[in-house]
Amino acid sequence: MKVLLLATISFLACCAAQAAEVTVASVNNPDMVTMQQLAPVFEKANPDVTVKFVILPDNVLRQNVTQDVAVKGGRYDVATISPYEVQSGWVTNKWLVDLTPMFAALPAAEQAAYDVGDIIPTIRSAVSVKGQLYALPFYGESSFTMYRKDLFEKAGLTMPPAPTWDDIRTYACKLNDPKARVYGIVMKGVPDFGQLAPFITFMHSYGAKWFDMNWQPQITSLAFKKAFTAYVDLLKSCGEPGATSVGFNEALTLMSQGDAAIWVDATVAAGLLADPKSSKVAGKIGYALAPTEGSVNGSSWLYTWALGILATSKHQDAAFKFIRWATSKDYVNLVAQTYGPLRIPSGTRLSTYSRADYVAAAPFAPIVLKAIEGADLTKPARDAVPYTGTAQVDIPEYATWAADFGQNFSAVIAGSMTVDEALKRSQATAVQVMTDAGYIK
């Protein structure tokens, strides 16, 4: 009997020591860092699961996770993924676990507590295929215009609720004051194709498009050249110096430190700019819809960083438990209690926008929800196109030709390549890639 008791104790100790370790591959942005900081709360409540984070830059994350899941490496259990991965082939390749039957298997009380129906419909559809859910949105976003109300007032300027890019250029150039280290507008110029969304929506708003209905690249078209030239000219005339090193985080720093008058980028930035702990311009920021220039379609993007379970995971149940926690109403409450309502991950849950504390702290909340609900992944351009996606093109080959475009795009901003050279090279690469992949017959 004593031997049996000791064996039982030993067995239980062994099992306790072998808690499932869920490895999460995540991008290195503020919301994901918050999730990592709060993960011990989950582990305390779920002692049978430990969580390990691998934090990587955007493009490195995509490359590492894609390579690992393609060869069935099993290095990661959960990955932060976007609509691009879901819509461009990961589901077809069976690289992601279908979450719909996993939710159906939960007790009714747990299903009700999570409340999938509370996820903003446009965001939910972005990570769904044929009605099946393949990832849980951690935060969602569209794009919109952020501007310094104090600088506008001082200059006698008024930002309309729905500006054009022509409006933005006028305001940016009037407010541009490099000697005072206040740039009219901050714009991305990094060669990272994963951060091309502001240019892509700029281009689409001008009526340009990546492909015609026969998948012939349109990068050397007159509309595309006009948009590309306008973007570069605005940046060089009234934007920040050193733009080839400016991505989202760098642009956020410039805006939050008071070094820029206008920024058109992700709605998720609004909460960071409104937080006096991280922003010198808290209370001074106004908000408007993303600018258009002839086309509403594709002028703002729809995006989410979501948590998906990789099909190669050996701990799918534990992974499901973690991603439910990290995207739940309880997690939203935890963030609000720990860091304040401004730090709540935005753009995912309808209930967030009816919270009295969030609405009081976030004057931008109504326009953010309007931007997200109004964005349409299926209509990215003024004309009919064969692709979907407002921040990228939802085909597997996108990364190949977009990486080349990103390098050429940044080279023009750096002054080492002309617009015509960049467009010609990018067109040739896209034609080759699309021909090799069979899109062009």
Give every residue of the chain whose pLDDT is below 70, as ranges. 1-17
Residue 55 has which token pair? Answer: 């934090």
Q: Is 372 left (phi over 0), alpha (psi -120 to 50) or beta?
A: alpha
CA–CA separation, 307 vs 88, rounded Å? 16
The whole-number pLDDT of residue 6 equals 45
Q: From the CB of residue 378, how many other CB atoms can be counted at a distance below 10 Å? A: 12
State whether residue 116 is helix, strand or coil: helix
Nearest to 425 by CA among 404, 396, 399: 404
User: Per the structure block, which two tokens stand in for 208?
Assistant: 């340009």
Q: Which amino acid is at 301?
A: W
Q: How do residues 157-189 score in pLDDT, each as one tens digit? A: 999 999 999 999 999 999 999 999 999 999 999
pLDDT in tens, 34-46: 999 999 999 999 9
In order of their start, the domains of the chain are 17-141+303-362 (3.40.190.10), 143-300+377-436 (3.40.190.10)
**235 vs 240: CA distance, rounded Å:** 7
pLDDT for res 31:
87
d(CA 5, CA 230): 77
Buried b (16+ CB within 10 A) or exposed e, 117-133: eebbebbbbbbbeeeeb
Q: Distance from first CA to last CA of the chain, Å, rounded?
A: 77
Rg of the chain over all Cα atoms, to the nearest angstrom: 23
Identity of the residue numbered 146: M
What pLDDT does residue 17 have?
52
One-letter amino acid at 285 equals I
pLDDT of residue 56: 85
pLDDT of residue 52: 96
Residue 144 CB neighbours (<10 A): 24
Residues 6+ apart with CB under 8 A from 68: 74, 75, 76, 310, 312
Identify the helix (H) or strand (E) that includes residue 81: strand 78-81
CA distance 189 to 235: 9
- State the DSSP string of 255-287: HHTT-BSEEEEETTHHHHHT-TTT-TTTT-EEE
User: Which amino acid is residue 41, in one-letter code?
Assistant: V
Residue spans of alpha helices (H) in 147-221: 149-155, 165-175, 197-205
